[in-house]
Structure 1
Amino acid sequence: MQNRSVPSSQVLIDEERAQAHLLQSEKLASIGQLAAGVAHEINNPVGYVFSNLSTLAGYVQELIKLIDAIDSTASLDELKQFKQSSDYDYIRSDVQDLIRESEEGIERVKLIISALKDFSHIEEDAFTYADLHRGIETTLNLVNNELKYKADVEKEFAELPEVECLPSQVNQVVLNLLTNAVHAIENRGTIYLRTGCEGEYVWFEVEDTGKGIEQAQLAHLFEPFYTTKPMGEGTGLGLSLSYSIVTKHSGDIQVFSEPGEGTRFRVWLPIQQSACPQEVVE
């Protein structure tokens, strides 16, 4: 039987398809990783709203009895006595607090659902102008449950123009960098989020006060399956996916780190995709 070699172009296509499948798997894994935290973030406000509704239902019954008593009491003094026995003053005050807390809880749920909606369009392929800060805030709302136990978040946002991009994919980059920052912090630390604009580019960066990265590892960070985490704790695809997304946007990622001094990732994106690529400098 004659052996036929596979054309190099076909090999390249197969490799690209395999990489696309791997990157898509990492996207889905990221969403799966968020699920437990998002469920907790939603369950907390829903829990106390449900509790408040139960209390409000009891108060409504007491108020209905008080209103019905108007028709059955023989004198105003008797009505006043009934009002005092029903703890009307306390109910009147507590009802306002319960309604305010419930409104805040529902607003929190709406915010998380809105963030999920913004984040979920992982298959979008049409560039559009978007507010970079909104994307960062969206992602922060999704990972809040994981962040709040490990780090304080400090934001230093500059005034930015809207950026021509694939918003949900940029959000994926923010998510990956935030996740890495959290995992780099062993006890409790700080994560800094900064943005800026220089010439035809905008940038955002995520800096942590974690353990840092060895210099020998820096050159391999964006390679598929390369990870500095212990075996079983990372796929090694998060930064590779981020690099692929940023490259697709004609941008660049820089990383600065020293062992024991934390790590800073800075992402550069052109404001317009028609802008000529240029080398960005610190």
Structure 2
Amino acid sequence: MGSTTPLTNGGDLNFQSIFENAVVGIFQTDLAGNYLCANPALAHIYGYDSVADLLAAQPNAHARLYVDPEQRQRFIDLMAQQDTLTNFESEIYRRDGSRCWISETCRVVRDTNGQMLYFEGFVQDVTAQHIALARLQAAEQDLQQKNQELEATLHQLQKAQQELIHAEKMAALGQLVAGVAHEINTPLGAIRSSIETINLCTERSLPLLPTVVRQLSDPVFEQFAALCGQSRSESLALSSRERRQYKRQIMAQLDAQGISNTDGWAETLIDLGVLSPAPELLTLLQTPQGQQVVELAHQLALLDRSTHTITTAIERAAKVVFALKTYARMNQNSEKVSAQVVNGIETVLTLYHNKLKHGVEVVRRYEPVPPIPCYADELRRYGQTLIHNALQAMEERGRLEIVVRQAQSHLWVEIIDSGCGIPAAVLPRIFEPFFTTKPAGEGNGLGLDIVRQMIDKHQGKIEVTSRPGCTQFRVGLPIDDAPHV
């Protein structure tokens, strides 16, 4: 099939120029693997300074080219069966011993009797694509492992709910579990969605990337690079109204240029951060190749944003899981430890994030305070009870202020809510066991009694003031272990 004359035996000056200046490797080898001719691009891919050095070394014929020695025989067998071979990928050794991946597109040259004379074809360095794919696969495997860990944590949390539901000191655990489960499921959903986007974009973009980019002229490549750069630098937080306004403006511009599918291209440009398309970009969208370039930039932008979403989701999930583990860790020996009260408060706020984020303004006023000797697990639970009561009093809408400060020998924690307040007739009785103003089934009146016992155990103080719109619990804890009277 085709000519039996090697490239070195003829060809006009134009063909010779294409051969010498091509960006892909071009070669002819005899059946034993000796290079009959090669262009500078092939020598560069294999790590040789010149074609002469490559022809002198003959790494293919001397079995020094393929990392897997059997790959050369696979190549010969497939060529004998098919006469042509497209995108045959192999890992090879370069001259300095480093490795790279190549993609070969070849054909067999036969004589008039059908006997194989030599092979000729093209070689492209696809190492970058392999590295990108390997990184994506590693990231996906890592994410799947993290998903499994999060799901296992969620399962443990649900099991703990069943074991602790009957204890009054954990009376709010049922609602807490639901909130934490939601907080974990939200980043899990974001991760799953982003992985699906990454997989879809990988399937669509990576196979096209080398072919499309290789065919681009310099001006079009510069526009492609600019779109990719803009999509990474822009962080648009448009409202639905703003997005509709920009979309209408862009659709009008596209329609004026006679570009079809204005709705879809307007959405794509906004995703890329292009709110006012330049004339050059509008011209680019008027050609099939230009549309392919813009869509490829869009797919790469989706890959980048999905990776950012995954990173954010993992950080959020890790924070929730860390808070959950901190909260669940029990001090079995009931011994005092030196701990920062603020850390315990932040753990509780993290676990209640689902209740706080929709309508509660949290104001933190933390002064620098020293760690104190305390039963850290019990202090976290008193903080949970007071914050939980405050949220109920506000019906999860309002202002929650938390103050931590030092006054002489005590560290004071104040929890202030903007709820309905505690009636004056009820206020003296709130620490009585089994006294509650909640409807039947919502409490048995032990929560604040347990809080008072915890504070007494720490030789501390608890004070309450209340009026409609402002209820304040003030807890004073000794800074050292000396007896206080």
2:327 maps to a residue whose letter is: F
Q: CA deviation at 1:48?
A: 1.3
Q: Which residue number in structure 2 is paired with residue 174 of structure 1?
A: 383
Question: What are the within-5 Å matches in structure 2 for residues 1-282 of structure 1?
Answer: 25-67=167-209, 69=211, 85=292, 87-124=295-332, 125-186=334-395, 188-258=397-467, 260-272=468-480, 274-278=481-485
Q: Distance in 1 between matches of 2:388 and 2:336?
A: 25
Q: Distance in 1 between matches of 2:352 and 2:321?
A: 13
Contact 2:172 2:388 in 1 (8 A): no
Q: Distance in 2 between matches of 1:123 and 1:236?
A: 26
Q: CA deviation at 1:105?
A: 0.8
Q: CA deviation at 1:63?
A: 3.1
| Residues 153 and 67 of structure 1: CA distance in aligned 2, closer, same or farther (over 3 Å) | same
Q: CA deviation at 1:133?
A: 1.2
TM-score by length of 2: 0.48
What is the number of residues matched between the two proteins? 252
Indicate the SS of the match to 1:170.
helix
2:401 maps to a residue whose letter is: Y
Q: CA deviation at 1:145?
A: 1.1
Q: Which residue number in structure 1 is paired with residue 131 of structure 2?
A: none
Contact 2:419 2:470 in 1 (8 A): yes
Q: Distance in 2 between matches of 1:176 and 1:204?
A: 14
Q: CA deviation at 1:195?
A: 0.7
Q: Distance in 2 between matches of 1:121 and 1:276?
A: 28
Higher relative contact order (CA 8 A, sep 6+): 1
Indicate the SS of the match to 1:172.
helix
Q: Deviations over 1:100-140 (max 9, x none)?
A: 12111111111111111111134541211112111111100
Contact 2:201 2:302 in 1 (8 A): no
Contact 1:66 1:83 in 2 (8 A): no
Contact 1:122 1:169 in 2 (8 A): no
Residue segments in structure 1 that go unaligned for 5+ positions in a row: 1-21
| Residues 186 and 76 of structure 1: CA distance in aligned 2, closer, same or farther (over 3 Å) | closer
Q: Distance in 2 between matches of 1:139 and 1:229?
A: 23
Indicate the SS of the match to 1:275.
coil
Structure 1 stretches of 4+ with a deviation exceeding 4 A read: 80-84
| Residues 187 and 122 of structure 1: CA distance in aligned 2, closer, same or farther (over 3 Å) | closer
Indicate the SS of the match to 2:473.
strand
Give the root-mean-square deviation of aligned CA atoms: 2.6
Q: Percent sequence identity over matched residues?
A: 34
| Residues 216 and 76 of structure 1: CA distance in aligned 2, closer, same or farther (over 3 Å) | closer
Identify the range of structure 1 (86-95 vs 34-43) with the bigger mean alpha-carbon deviation: 86-95
Q: Which residue number in structure 2 is paired with residue 10 of structure 1?
A: none
2:406 maps to a residue whose letter is: C
Q: Distance in 2 between matches of 1:127 and 1:210?
A: 34
| Residues 32 and 104 of structure 1: CA distance in aligned 2, closer, same or farther (over 3 Å) | same
Residue segments in structure 2 that go unaligned for 5+ positions in a row: 1-163, 222-287
| Residues 106 and 166 of structure 1: CA distance in aligned 2, closer, same or farther (over 3 Å) | same
| Residues 23 and 98 of structure 1: CA distance in aligned 2, closer, same or farther (over 3 Å) | closer
Q: CA deviation at 1:29?
A: 2.9
Contact 1:150 1:182 in 2 (8 A): no
| Residues 250 and 102 of structure 1: CA distance in aligned 2, closer, same or farther (over 3 Å) | same
Q: Distance in 2 between matches of 1:247 and 1:41?
A: 34
Q: CA deviation at 1:67?
A: 4.7
Q: CA deviation at 1:23?
A: 12
Q: Distance in 2 between matches of 1:117 and 1:187?
A: 25
| Residues 27 and 159 of structure 1: CA distance in aligned 2, closer, same or farther (over 3 Å) | same
Indicate the SS of the match to 1:193.
strand
Q: CA deviation at 1:157?
A: 0.9
Indicate the SS of the match to 2:370.
coil
Indicate the SS of the match to 2:463.
strand
Q: CA deviation at 1:255?
A: 0.6
| Residues 63 and 261 of structure 1: CA distance in aligned 2, closer, same or farther (over 3 Å) | closer
Q: CA deviation at 1:66?
A: 2.1
